[in-house]
Amino acid sequence: TAPVFFGCAFIAFGPALALYLFTIATDPLRVIFLIAGAFFWLVSLLLSSVFWFLVRVITDNRDGPVQNYLLIFGVLLSVCIQELFRLAYYRLLKKASEGLKSINPEETAPSMRLLAYVSGLGFGIMSGVFSFVNTLSNALGPGTVGIHGDSPQFFLNSAFMTLVIIMLHVFWGIVFFDGCEKNKWYILLTVLLTHLLVSTQTLLSPHYEVNLVTAYIIMVLMGIWAFCVAGGSRRSLKLCLLCQDKDFLLYNQRSR
């Protein structure tokens, strides 16, 4: 099982680790913002768990359809709370940036594009870690996969889904902060709805392949959107692919 574990871990976290090493690890300030973003996601998970626990106690842990409805409710609630905490994190960063400018006008504050990217990666990495740990918990004990009709590729599919969630949080963070900056609330609603769609589709269909295809389509569309709002262009993309841009979309960013 060790090769399977490390293979799935590489699929799930390889791109996120590369993003961290090449764009964040060399800057202490970015590391701090990433950890803060991860902490905000953890607090949102804690709050969701408290609500989930209270609901289960109120319903007296009933079996059958009630638990299915509670599971759907828990997912919807968790997604909404995550997006509320993303908004709270944006507000906090905005206030901090404005305060820094008022104290020292000559100090260049980090751009909101940079903060959106770093906070989104923090949300994504922490979300991916919990998703992957929950998946691996199903591997405890012999023969747990496939007994009740689960796909033999359950862990591999879960690794690819974890990768999608991590990357989507990065894209959602960039698009979400851009919507807040421009006061376009329909953008925030779009982020919320796509987050709900990706999170709930696994509850509506047992076909992992269909869920992955849908999630990857949403990831590609959100990635293009995030690339455009972050100031991307054909030239910058070409420089990135040719490794001629030292820090793609983050190098020498000016404060917005």
Are 178 and 116 in contact by the 8 Å Cβ rule? The answer is: yes
Tell me the pTM: 0.84
More confident residue, 198 or 147: 198
Task: pLDDT band for 138, please (50, 70, 90 cuts).
Answer: low
pLDDT tens, residue by residue, 9-59:
777 888 888 888 888 988 888 899 999 999 999 999 888 888 877 877 777
With both helix axes pointing from N to C terminus, report the angle between 112-137 and 65-103 in degrees, rounded to the nearest 10: 150
Are 82 and 38 in contact by the 8 Å Cβ rule? The answer is: no
pLDDT at 3 over 70: no
Residue 200 to residues 71, 78, 193, 252: CA-CA distances in angstroms? 10, 11, 10, 39
Average pLDDT over residues 211-225: 91
State percent of the chain over pLDDT 70: 75
Average pLDDT over residues 184-212: 84
pLDDT at 245 over 60: no
With both helix axes pointing from N to C terminus, report the angle between 185-204 and 65-103 in degrees, rounded to the nearest 10: 150
- pLDDT score recorded for residue 107: 63
pLDDT tens, residue by residue, 141-178:
554 444 445 555 677 788 888 899 999 999 999 999 99
Cβ-based burial of 236 (10 A; exposed 0-12, middle 13-18, buried ≥19): middle
- pLDDT score recorded for residue 233: 73
Q: Where are the domains of the chain?
A: 1-254
- pLDDT score recorded for residue 240: 65
Are 194 and 172 in contact by the 8 Å Cβ rule? The answer is: yes
Place of tokens 């054909």: 234
Across the chain, what does the average pLDDT equal?
A: 80
pLDDT tens, residue by residue, 101-123:
777 666 666 788 889 999 999 99
Residue 230 to residues 112, 114, 176, 222: CA-CA distances in angstroms? 10, 9, 11, 12
- pLDDT score recorded for residue 144: 46
- DSSP secondary structure code for residue 103 in this structure: H
Are 72 and 203 in contact by the 8 Å Cβ rule? The answer is: yes
